[in-house]
Amino acid sequence: MDLFDVYPLVDIKPVRALGATLWDDKGQEYLDFYGGHAVISIGHSHPHYVQRLTEQLQNIGFYSNSVRIPIQTQLAHKLGQVSGYEDYALFLCNSGAEANENALKLASFHTGKTRVVSFKGAFHGRTSGAVAATDNPKIVAPFNAGHAISFVDYDLKAVSEILQGGDVCAVIVEPIQGVGGIIMPSDDFLQGLSLLCGAHNVVLIADEVQSGYGRSGKFFAHQHAGIRPDIISVAKGMGNGFPVGGILISPALKASYGLLGTTFGGNHLACAAALAVLEVIEDEHLLAHATELGHYLRTELLAHAGALEIRGRGLMVGIKYGFPIKKIRDKLLTEHHIFVGNASDPAVLRLLPPLNITKAEVDRFLAALYALAAEKIETV
Ligand code: PMP
């Protein structure tokens, strides 16, 4: 059987990785400034992470949610403590799309309403419900057409007008748009949005699947604006490569048996991976590190990258050029052996290095980028 051919693939076969370094089957070394779409938060194969997963696998790898799984409770406590959401509850699933599906469903159950407000350029996943909350026509299937979704700009007046219709269950927002090109709604906007949702009894969902887990320098990117959303969806960096996702749920939303469900969500191995990530974030002070190195990286880029704009916070960085970045991205990989990402906007280079990236590794990336800028690579 062949693989279903839906991804354009570069001809590199990584076989080993440590920290921000990957090696392919020919022994070539690569620097990872992308972490497989923001997944690698504490670095590849971190020793503490490997140890926790290995020990867990030797004891029990999986049993279903029909029994008590102590490590789930341990994870919920630790996540509450590290994130500052001790009074919220945790529902565990397996991916970002699933987290958003559950968040939207819960909001709809809670309010008895169906309309969702989402923002232009947003990305919330590719499953049926979540896909309906994105405006990318390429990934919206015909059956999604029935959903009542309103797409708006970051404009409080526009949101307010829709909320006055009285049929909205949720507003879903990425505190920093990832796939869209590292676009940040202002802190004022997020504060206004939170107030509006509160006033209309609408559930505010912060999609922190990409921007969460320390990526922005705070545990959650919305914490820069000082708001407390009703539901926060997480995945990607949560498991550092092990598929795990979840939603953090405000005490105002009540649980009942059968409301949400999953087979694999919160399995022993996923919880071991997620706990290891939180322990490393805490032990290695990765929020402070991401703030510091993110500041250094953006300051350098502002001065020397020759870009139109440097976007983002912490180690979630977008470099907006005045031309498509495809050639820069290709040359960084083939000539300098550095992985970086792209975005829906073809002129944005997306950087999502591990949170424990070193200054020497940042300097190596910058030197490569400047070398390409000196070659005036965009015109090649
Ligand atoms: N939300 C955001 C903000 C994302 O960036 C992504 C993935 N790019 C998703 C949801 C979907 O996550 P997953 O691919 O794990 O389903």
User: Which of 104, 119, 209 has most ligand 1 atoms within 8 Å of its beta carbon, as the pocket-test mutant?
Assistant: 209
DSSP notation for 181-210: TSB---HHHHHHHHHHHHHHT-EEEEE-TT
Above 80 in pLDDT, residue 367? Answer: yes
Atom 12, ligand 1: residue with shortest CA distance? 96
* Span from the CA of 210 to the centroid of ligand 1 (angstroms): 7
Atom index in ligand 1 nearest the CA of residue 235 equals: 15
**d(Cα 231, Cα 165) in Å, to the nearest integer?**
22
Mean pLDDT of 209-227: 98
Q: Is the CB of 179 under 6 A from ligand 1?
A: yes
**d(Cα 113, Cα 88) in Å, to the nearest integer?**
23
Tokens at residue 350, please? 């997306």
Query: How confident is the model at residue 258, as a pLDDT?
Result: 85
Q: Is the CB of 178 under 6 A from ligand 1?
A: yes
* Span from the CA of 234 to the centroid of ligand 1 (angstroms): 9
Q: Is the CB of 37 under 6 A from ligand 1?
A: yes
Percent of the chain with pLDDT over 90: 84
Mean pLDDT of 110-125: 93
* Bridge partners (DSSP) listed for residue 119: 152
Q: Which residue has the tokens 């949101």?
A: 159
Q: Is the CB of 123 under 6 A from ligand 1?
A: yes
Mean pLDDT across the chain: 94
Percent of the chain with pLDDT over 70: 95
Cβ(327)–Cβ(295) below 8 Å: no
* Span from the CA of 366 to the centroid of ligand 1 (angstroms): 27
Tokens at residue 33, please? 């400034």
pLDDT in tens, 327-337: 999 999 999 99
Mean pLDDT of 218-239: 98
Cβ(94)–Cβ(262) below 8 Å: yes
Query: How confident is the model at residue 70, as a pLDDT?
Result: 95
Q: Is the CB of 319 under 6 A from ligand 1?
A: no
Mean pLDDT of 84-113: 94
165: CB partners within 8 A, 6+ apart: 115
Binned at pLDDT 50, 70 and 90, residue 145 comes out as very low
Binned at pLDDT 50, 70 and 90, residue 127 comes out as confident
CATH class of the structural domain 47-283 = alpha beta
Query: How confident is the model at residue 105, as a pLDDT?
Result: 87
Above 80 in pLDDT, residue 376? Answer: no
* Bridge partners (DSSP) listed for residue 19: 44
Binned at pLDDT 50, 70 and 90, residue 251 comes out as very high
Cβ(328)–Cβ(377) below 8 Å: yes
* Span from the CA of 280 to the centroid of ligand 1 (angstroms): 23
Atom index in ligand 1 nearest the CA of residue 122 equals: 3
Atom index in ligand 1 nearest the CA of residue 174 equals: 3
Closest C-alpha to 117, from 158, 178, 175: 158
Tokens at residue 242, please? 């092990």
* Span from the CA of 212 to the centroid of ligand 1 (angstroms): 11
pLDDT in tens, 264-275: 999 999 999 999
Query: How confident is the model at residue 141, as a pLDDT?
Result: 57
**How far does Cα 245 stand from its chain's mean position?**
10
Q: Is the CB of 212 under 6 A from ligand 1?
A: no
pLDDT in tens, 33-78: 999 999 999 999 999 999 999 999 999 988 888 888 999 999 999 9
* Span from the CA of 39 to the centroid of ligand 1 (angstroms): 10
Query: How confident is the model at residue 139, as a pLDDT?
Result: 58
* Bridge partners (DSSP) listed for residue 264: none
User: Which of 6, 124, 231 has most ligand 1 atoms within 8 Å of its beta carbon, as the pocket-test mutant?
Assistant: 124
Q: Which residue has the tokens 């690698």?
A: 40
Above 70 in pLDDT, residue 322? Answer: yes
CATH 3.90.1150.10 applies to domain 14-46+285-374: yes
Domain ranges of the chain: 14-46+285-374, 47-283
* Span from the CA of 343 to the centroid of ligand 1 (angstroms): 13
Cβ(204)–Cβ(368) below 8 Å: no
pTM of the entire predicted model? 0.96
Closest C-alpha to 118, from 187, 168, 181, 178: 168
Query: How confident is the model at residue 319, as a pLDDT?
Result: 97
Mean pLDDT of 222-228: 98
- Return the minimum-mean-pLDDT range out of 98-102, 143-147, 277-281, 292-296: 143-147
